[in-house]
């Protein structure tokens, strides 16, 4: 019985020491220039991706607006000026 408790205690101590060593290693790596450089690179990629997505979304928005304008023209409806509030034609 005592040997089981001692065995478990030793196992817990070893696990704790391994965890502390791993934590210290991660902390040292996080403070290193390599980690900072990698973090900056990943952030740069993210920003470029966001910019590309925004550009693509703007192109789609403009193309859609052109299609809607042309469709309105075909049915004889005048397109509202850009930025004009359109509403839905009645009061509440």
The predicted pLDDT at position 52 comes to: 95
Instruction: Please report, for residues 35, 63, 85, the alpha-carbon distance to residue 58 in angstroms, rounded to integers and kept in the order given.
Output: 35, 9, 20
Please name which of 23, 26, 1, 3 lies closest in space to residue 11, comparing C-alpha atoms.
3
Higher pLDDT, 6 or 64: 64
Q: Is pLDDT at 11 greater than 90 in this prediction? A: no
* pLDDT beyond 80 at 3: no
Distance CA 15, CA 9 (A): 10
Residue 1: what pLDDT?
64
Residue 84: what pLDDT?
A: 67
pLDDT digits (tens, 9 = 90+) for 27-82: 787 777 888 888 899 999 999 999 999 999 999 999 999 999 899 999 998 877 77
pTM: 0.48
pLDDT at 77: 87
């Amino acid at each position: 019985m005592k040997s089981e408790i001692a065995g478990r205690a030793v196992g817990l101590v070893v696990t704790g020491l391994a965890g502390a060593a791993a934590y210290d290693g991660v902390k040292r790596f996080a403070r290193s220039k390599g980690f900072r450089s990698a973090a900056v690179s990943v952030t740069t990629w993210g920003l470029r991706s966001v910019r590309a997505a925004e550009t693509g979304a703007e192109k789609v928005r403009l193309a859609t607006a052109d299609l809607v304008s042309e469709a309105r023209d075909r049915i004889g409806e005048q397109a509202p000026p850009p930025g004009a509030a359109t509403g839905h034609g009645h009061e509440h």
